[in-house]
Amino acid sequence: MSKNIEGKIVAITGASSGIGAETAKLLASKGAIVAIGARRRQRLDAIVAEIDRAGGRGKAYTVDVVKRVDVANFIEGTVKDFGRIDVLVNNAGVMPVAALSECRIDEWDRMIDVNIRGVLHGIAAALPVFQRQKSGQFVNLSSVLGFKVFAPGGTVYSATKFAIRAISDGLRVEAGDGIRVASIEPGIVDSELKHNTTGAAKDMVMGFYRQAIPAESVARAIAYAIEQPADVDISEIVVRSTGQP
Ligand code: NDP
């Protein structure tokens, strides 16, 4: 248990695998009640069952973050089920890697939709709740690629992660009293993200992932940001594998 996590209601998008799933399990083990959202409902149900067996509390919600109404229902549902919401972890993301010259416009659109629009949908749904409560915390998943463009191959992905840092910075200024905003910037993390890449860049991506750290390492960084006292805003955390440039 952790004093500043115990009893908190934490909503997490993209919690059916990787960083989101590990964050849900870690926070639940520290006493948070976790509301987990993603599209793969069976995965979410299995994670809730695992949390249950370990003595924690969680609930699954089917959410496609690209759909504004799904995200609004997720946040409204969480408030209805648990009375309030203390933290929204905007974690859902996709990373299909390909050179710009391949013009994979559908993949560009999907990255923009999930990685940027999805986060904005989360902000639109949770900000009014946080402002009403006069407290709340956004934890937004950017990346080390939100500082440095990974090219060739990751230009559009990097653009979406630069955007998350920009949105987090602006949100921190605009959100109002009592609302904290953390941008988490992981390096290479072992998860299902690497499987988004098909085609010429696949081998390169798989090569990079040999240096991956476990998703649980990022979950610990997220927990650190959440467990600070209310007057401490951990604005950014960069967490990468030792030796990753
Ligand atoms: P995973 O692929 O394991 O997890 C991604 C999650 O996003 C899944 O739960 C998936 O669930 C969800 N998701 C994808 N599209 C949607 C959608 N339209 N609506 C709702 N949920 C969606 O990858 P990670 O855990 O690694 O990724 C988590 C975050 O961390 C991402 O934002 C990623 O960009 C970021 N990150 C990851 C790094 C890495 O090396 N792994 C490094 C830096 C940042 P489902 O398919 O069930 O909907």
192 within domain boundaries: no
What interface predicted TM-score (ipTM) does this complex get?
A: 0.99
Closest to 126 measured CA to CA, from 230, 6, 15, 13: 13
Query: Residue 192, Cβ neighbours under 10 Å: how many?
Result: 12
195 within domain boundaries: no
Please give the single-letter amino acid code of residue 75. I
Give the chain's length.
245
103 within domain boundaries: no
pLDDT tens digit sequence for 104-134: 999 999 999 999 999 999 999 999 999 999 9
233 within domain boundaries: yes
pLDDT computed for residue 25 by the predictor: 98
Query: Can you give the residue range of the structural domain that contains 21?
Result: 9-93+112-144+157-186+214-238
pTM to 2 decimal places: 0.98
> What total of structural domains would you count in the chain?
1
Q: Kindly state if the Cβ of 139 falls inside 6 Å of ligand 1.
A: no
99 within domain boundaries: no
Q: Kindly state if the Cβ of 19 falls inside 6 Å of ligand 1.
A: yes
The residues, any chain, with a CB within 8 Å of residue 61's CB and separated by 6 or more, are 35, 36, 37, 44, 73, 74, 77, 78
pLDDT tens digit sequence for 175-218: 999 999 999 999 999 999 999 999 999 999 999 999 999 999 99
124 within domain boundaries: yes
Q: How far is the CA of 245 from the centre of ligand 1 (A)?
A: 22
- Can you give the CATH number for the domain in which 75 is found? 3.40.50.720
55 within domain boundaries: yes
- Alpha helices, DSSP H only, in 112-214? 118-133, 155-174, 202-208
Q: How far is the CA of 232 from the centre of ligand 1 (A)?
A: 27
126 within domain boundaries: yes
Closest to 119 measured CA to CA, from 87, 93, 155, 157: 93
